[in-house]
Structure 1
Amino acid sequence: MTTRVKICGITRPADGALAAELGADAIGLVFYEKSPRHVSIGQARAIVAALPPFVSVVALFVNPERALVESVLEGCPVDILQFHGEETAAFCRSFARPYLKAVRVREGGVDLAELARQYHDARGLLTDAYVEGTHGGTGCRFDWDLLPSGGVSLPLILSGGLDEHTIAEAVSRVRPAAVDVSSGVESGKGIKDAARMAAFIKGAKHGSV
């Protein structure tokens, strides 16, 4: 199966539209104020309005208050929720919306099989690099050998330090259901680069750039 691609941290309607035109399956909107890629609900609505049909919209949160998630769902068309903090499985599923659970991977620090059991109704586990004091978007890569060789019971989404130069190897070695990139296709924080997005998506879906 072709690896699916999410371009995360979209901050401008033109970038979202271009990502979709280049073949991205999903775009990510960050509702976390500490992120340089944070968007307001108004900005998010403008980005979504620029997208063609059949491109999924993912709303990313980090340990949010319930009111924030509910306000985003009320104010912006969203397909999937992505939780990047220490949210419980009960909290993630309480919005009656498909969700992804992000996991920061480090040696000896995470049991993906157990997390897959806890978050059994998630659409997938998103694996990212563990960096002290942050919750993603660092551009850092983790050791892919830390992932279970036999896989887990949920689809695996690979993130962390991916770019147009590493994506083909990542897909070949890890065989993830999907890949997620943000800083690896940027010319500046929150500003996507057309050439880098094109090369990344080609590498993910066809194995070479």
Structure 2
Amino acid sequence: MGLLTYSKGRTRVKICGLKTPADIDAAVSAGVDAVGFVFYPPSLRAVTPNIAASLISRLPAGIDAVGLLVNASDAEISAIRAVAPITLWQFHGDESAEECQRHASGQPWMKAARVGSQFAYDDFSLQYGQANAFLLDALVEGYGGGGIPFDWQGIPQEWISANAHRVVLSGGLNAHNVGEAIARLHPCAVDVSSGVEISKGVKDPALMREFIQAVRAADALSSS
């Protein structure tokens, strides 16, 4: 079905920063809808295009392979496209809407928002109105949310009601708080990385299972 297939009562799940065949197999077994590959060399979770290609070959049909980019050059994106069959692009840097459109080259894409106390939701959704999804992450130094949640209560109710069908919620999610996030916001999808790790960059199969089980339990509760 893929990450951005919105259906009420079923929150999609993306696990980001996978690096090994064991990571992929565990995520698939747990019931993931999308896996994310980090093409940002400073990150401990970064992979090369060739490694990503090998990992993507293990994915069953219907699971999105998400390419996470941070201010990538045309040459870097071309190198990824040459070998890795990415199905959805995630722009996590300072890319303009026009750059996102050009880099995605007709494929679906989402833009990450770094949400702080003064974040302008309406301005962001207007600026990136052509995005297939908005990924809401915490504002921290550098790029990525650093495993820190932001203030979900600060999201204007009118904005989330209008945009929930294309919101991917990220930022410090884990098996203990994802249910509250789903109950409050009803996003299209949730995105987790550090919340399913035993150390930075090292995924844990048990934590992946627990996270997705918590999502499904929240879905069941919201549907009852």
When the two structures are superposed, what TM-score results if normalisation uses the length of structure 2?
0.88
CA distance in 2, matches of 1:114, 1:78: 29
Shift of 1:188: 2.1
Q: Is contact 1:106-1:146 (8 Å) kept? A: no
CA drift at 1:205: 2.3
Q: Distance in 2 between matches of 1:51 and 1:173?
A: 31
CA contact (8 A) 2:138 2:145 kept: no
User: Of Structure 1 and Structure 2, which has the larger fraction of its residues in helix?
Assistant: 2
- Residues of 2 paired with 1:190 and 1:117: CA distance? 34
Quote the residue 1:102 is aligned against.
112
What is the RMSD computed on CA atoms of the aligned residues? 1.4
What whole-Å deviation, never above 9, does each CA across 1:59-94 have from its counterpart, x for those lacking one?
001111121112111210100010001100001011
Alignment pair present for 1:79 and 2:90: no
Give the aligned partner of residue 199 of structure 1: 210
Once residues 182 and 85 of structure 1 are traced to their aligned partners in structure 2, the CA distance between those partners, rounded to angstroms, is: 17
Counterpart for residue 122 of structure 1: 131
Asked if the contact 1:14–1:50 (Cα under 8 Å) also holds between the matched residues in 2, the reply is: no
Aligned equivalent of 1:171: 182
Consecutive unaligned residues of structure 2, counting only runs of 5 or more, are 1-7, 220-224
Is 1:48 matched up with 2:56?
Answer: yes
Moved over 3 A (4+): none
**Offset, 1:14:** 1.6
Which deviations, in whole Å up to 9, do the C-alpha atoms of 1:178-204 show, x marking residues without a partner?
A: 000001001122221111111111111
Give, in whole Å, the separation in 2 of the partners of 1:137 and 1:39.
Answer: 19
Deviation digits for residues 125-173 of structure 1, max 9, x if unmatched? 00000012x2115111111112121224461111001011111111111
Residue pair 1:5, 1:25 contacting (<8 A) in 2 also: yes
Separation in structure 1 between the aligned mates of residue 112 and residue 192 of structure 2, nearest angstrom: 13
Q: Distance in 1 between matches of 2:216 and 2:134?
A: 20
What is the CA–CA distance in structure 2 between the aligned matches of 1:62 and 1:93, rounded to whole Å? 14
Residue 38 of structure 1 and its aligned partner are, at CA, apart by 0.2
Classify the secondary structure of the residue corresponding to 2:157.
coil
Which residue does 2:28 correspond to in 1?
20
Matched position secondary structure for 2:172: coil
The TM-score normalised by the length of structure 1 is: 0.94
How many residue pairs get aligned? The number is: 206
CA–CA distance in 2 between the matches of 1:43 and 1:21?
20
Instruction: Choose 75-84 or 150-159, whichever is displaced more.
Output: 150-159
Contact in 2 for aligned 1:13/1:48 (Cα 8 Å): no
CA–CA separation in structure 2 for the residues paired with 1:62 and 1:205:
31
Pick from 32, 35, 47: which aligns with 2:40? Answer: 32
Is the CA contact 1:137–1:183 (under 8 Å) kept in the aligned structure 2?
no
1:189 and 2:197 aligned: no
